[in-house]
A = this chain, B = another copy of it.
Amino acid sequence: MPPLIAVDWGTSSLRGARLDDVGRVLEEKSAPLGILNVPNGDFAGVFASLFSEWMKPAGSVCLISGMAGSRQGWVEAPYVACPAGPDELRQGLHWIEPGRIALVPGLSDEQRDVPDVMRGEEVQIFGAMRLAGLVDGLFVLPGTHSKWASVEGGRITGFRTFMTGEFYGLLSQHSILARTLEAEAPLDEAVFLRGVARAGNGEGLLHNAFGVRALALFGRLSPAESASYLSGLLIGEELHRQKLPAGREVIAIGAAALTARYALALGQRGLSVRTFGAEATWAGLRTLQA
Contact = CB atoms under 8 A, between A and B. Distances in A.
Contact of A218 (B115, B145, B167, B174): B115
A114 B198 contact: yes
A215 to B, nearest CB: 6
A140 to B, nearest CB: 13
A209 B161 CA distance: 9
A234 to B, nearest CB: 7
Contacts of A21: none
A204 interface: yes
Interface stretch (A56-64, A123-131, A235-243, A255-263): A235-243
A170 B175 contact: yes
A103 B203 CA distance: 32
Interface residues of A, number: 41
B160 A215 contact: no
Given A161-B207, A204-B240, A215 B114 contact: yes
B175 A214 contact: no
Contact of A215 (B115, B167, B208): B115
A224 interface: no
A47 interface: no
Interface string A200-216: 00111111111100110
Interface string A129-157: 00000000000000001100000000000
Given A145-B210, A161-B210, A166-B176, A204 B241 contact: yes
Contacts of A234: 206
Interface of A: 71, 113-117, 145-146, 160-164, 166-167, 170-171, 174-176, 198, 202-211, 214-215, 217-218, 220, 234, 237-238, 240-241
Rank and list the top 4 A-B pairs by shortest CB-CB distance, nearest first: A162-B206, A114-B211, A161-B210, A170-B170
